[in-house]
Chain A
Amino acid sequence: MTAEHDSHDGHDGSGGYAGTDALMAAITGEDLPDDARADAAFLADHRRAEADVTLLRQQLRLIGETLAADPAPAEVPAPVGPPRSTRRRVRAFAFGALATAAVATMLTGMAWLIAQGGVGASSDARGGSSDKAASDAGSPFTDPGYLACARLVAEGEVMAVEKLPADAGRERITLHVNRSYKPEKAKRVVSFLIDEDAVLKSLHKGDRILVALPQHSATPDHVLVGEKAIARERAGMNRALSASRELGCD
């Protein structure tokens, strides 16, 4: 073995046998030595390694077929989502509200204020009008129409922010998901690309965010920053999610 490989002679604390470890065994597909087969911990590592190799194979196939099939687009394709009028209204809300709340956002860490009543405006109104009120307020997180077409709505803590040197103006955000609203069970860690100017306040490790990704996109079109702002959305968002399940998405 060359220096690139952490070879192990015999059984050691790292779980290697006869100069190989679980990952190497999974890579080569060679039969495991008898003493490795008797080691439950090694077998568990080996199963995990084999699962990872299978996943790697699947993803390479997906990537290769995607890249080989698609002609170079002239521009970034627009993601498919709710009807255009709704989408424009949602986007207009997001950016218009951001503009008017710029100073407050910078100071408090909130990404936007709900237009109708400023901070704390109710999406907690009782009775059947709450969804209508929330929708009228324009918050996408409380809009059943928007949520019906969202692929991921989740909140959590930013674990990492990486600038992409080859993709100027974009960052890769790694999020530790504390709560997933849609789907109900998402992976514990997700990552996505974001335009640096998509949020008024740059994201940093440790930021608490609520994020929504539309269908057919790995880039969110709504990000809410700060626990207080997220807390104000939760009740309305849960109601809107229930309503969104009755809606289709064209």
Chain B
Amino acid sequence: MAIRRPRRAEAEADPLDAAQADRVRAVLALGGVPQDDLQDGLQQVLLRLLERRARGDDPPRDVGAWAAVVASNLAVDWHRTRNRQERVSARLALLGAPDERVPDSTENSVQALAVAEGLDALPAAQRQVLVLRYYADLSVPQIAEQLGIPLGTVKSRLYAAAKLLRERLHVEEAV
């Protein structure tokens, strides 16, 4: 007699895999959520995903992208309601330079600091779309759809944010 292995109940499966969870934490951190609140933020994202399942809603087409958007919204709300945003640049400076095995790691760390300071200087709305586009790799139409804002608004915010960060990265253009 064939033994059938029962299918694992969907509710028991991890809502996010390890890589997706790491990305959520990164989106939160890039959004200025303090280090010691990242795990709390991740739990909130997981909770929202479980609530969605409990309501019987269809699962997101792209769970990773959905989770990144939820995390970015959390980061924006964190800044608005708690008014305690960690400066990414200060945190990065404390951590020092990255892996010595990476070529030109000093140049990388200097560039990373420049980008981090640029992030800290951005308005929350610009920072959110920048992180979703260039960290979470959502397309411009995806960002517009997920955030419920016009395509043109996403483009404008991205343009302003990218322009500022470009200036930070290439100070030598002014020399």
Spell out A's residues near B (CB within 8 Å).
1-2, 4-6, 23-24, 27-29, 49, 52-53, 55-57, 59-73, 76-77, 79, 151-152, 159, 164, 166-167, 170, 172, 174, 176, 183, 186-193, 213, 215-219
Evaluate contact between A23 and B96: CB separation under 8 angstroms.
no
Evaluate contact between A186 and B134: CB separation under 8 angstroms.
no
B51-69 interface with A by 8 A CB criterion: none
Given contacts A4-B159, A23-B162, contact A159 B35 (CB under 8 A): no
- Interchain CB contact (< 8 A) of A55 among B104, B106, B169: B169
B19-39 interface with A by 8 A CB criterion: 22-23, 25-30, 35-36, 38
Given contacts A23-B162, A68-B29, A218-B109, contact A60 B96 (CB under 8 A): no
Given contacts A23-B162, A23-B163, A27-B162, contact A64 B29 (CB under 8 A): yes
Task: Give the distance to chain A from B110, nearest Cβ to Cβ, in Å.
Answer: 5
The SS class assigned to the A binding surface is mixed
A64–B96 alpha-carbon span in the complex (Å): 14
Evaluate contact between A62 and B108: CB separation under 8 angstroms.
yes
A18–B117 alpha-carbon span in the complex (Å): 33
Evaluate contact between B155 and A27: CB separation under 8 angstroms.
yes
Closest to A61 in B: B135
Q: What are 29 A-to-B residue pairs whose CB atoms are below 8 Å?
A: A1-B152, A2-B153, A23-B159, A27-B140, A52-B169, A59-B112, A60-B30, A60-B115, A63-B112, A64-B27, A64-B135, A65-B26, A68-B29, A69-B22, A72-B36, A73-B94, A79-B96, A151-B97, A151-B105, A159-B175, A164-B90, A167-B87, A167-B89, A170-B93, A172-B117, A174-B171, A188-B172, A191-B110, A216-B96
Given contacts A59-B115, A68-B25, contact A5 B171 (CB under 8 A): no
The SS class assigned to the B binding surface is helix
Given contacts A52-B166, A215-B100, contact A63 B92 (CB under 8 A): yes
Evaluate contact between B175 and A57: CB separation under 8 angstroms.
no
Contacts between chains A and B (CB distance < 8 A), count: 172
A127–B160 alpha-carbon span in the complex (Å): 59
A174–B110 alpha-carbon span in the complex (Å): 10
Query: Which of chain A's residues have a CB closer than 8 A to the CB of B27?
Result: 64
The reply to whether the CB of B146 lies closer than 8 angstroms to some CB of chain A is no
Task: Give the distance to chain B from A64, nearest Cβ to Cβ, in Å.
Answer: 3
A191–B172 alpha-carbon span in the complex (Å): 11
- Interchain CB contact (< 8 A) of A167 among B22, B93, B114: B93
A200–B157 alpha-carbon span in the complex (Å): 43
Query: Which of chain A's residues have a CB closer than 8 A to the CB of B28?
Result: 68
Evaluate contact between A218 and B87: CB separation under 8 angstroms.
no
| Interface footprint category on B | 35 or more
Given contacts A67-B26, A71-B35, A187-B107, contact A166 B87 (CB under 8 A): yes
Query: Which of chain B's residues have a CB closer than 8 A to the CB of A29?
Result: 140
A76–B93 alpha-carbon span in the complex (Å): 9
Query: Which of chain A's residues have a CB closer than 8 A to the CB of B89?
Result: 164, 167
- Interchain CB contact (< 8 A) of A60 among B35, B120, B134, B155: B134
Closest to B170 in A: A52
A242–B5 alpha-carbon span in the complex (Å): 68
A121–B36 alpha-carbon span in the complex (Å): 51
Query: Which of chain A's residues have a CB closer than 8 A to the CB of B166?
Result: 23, 49, 52, 56
Evaluate contact between A187 and B22: CB separation under 8 angstroms.
no
Evaluate contact between A189 and B172: CB separation under 8 angstroms.
yes
Evaluate contact between B106 and A60: CB separation under 8 angstroms.
no
Evaluate contact between B160 and A166: CB separation under 8 angstroms.
no
- Interchain CB contact (< 8 A) of B96 among A2, A5, A53, A77: A77
Evaluate contact between A4 and B160: CB separation under 8 angstroms.
yes
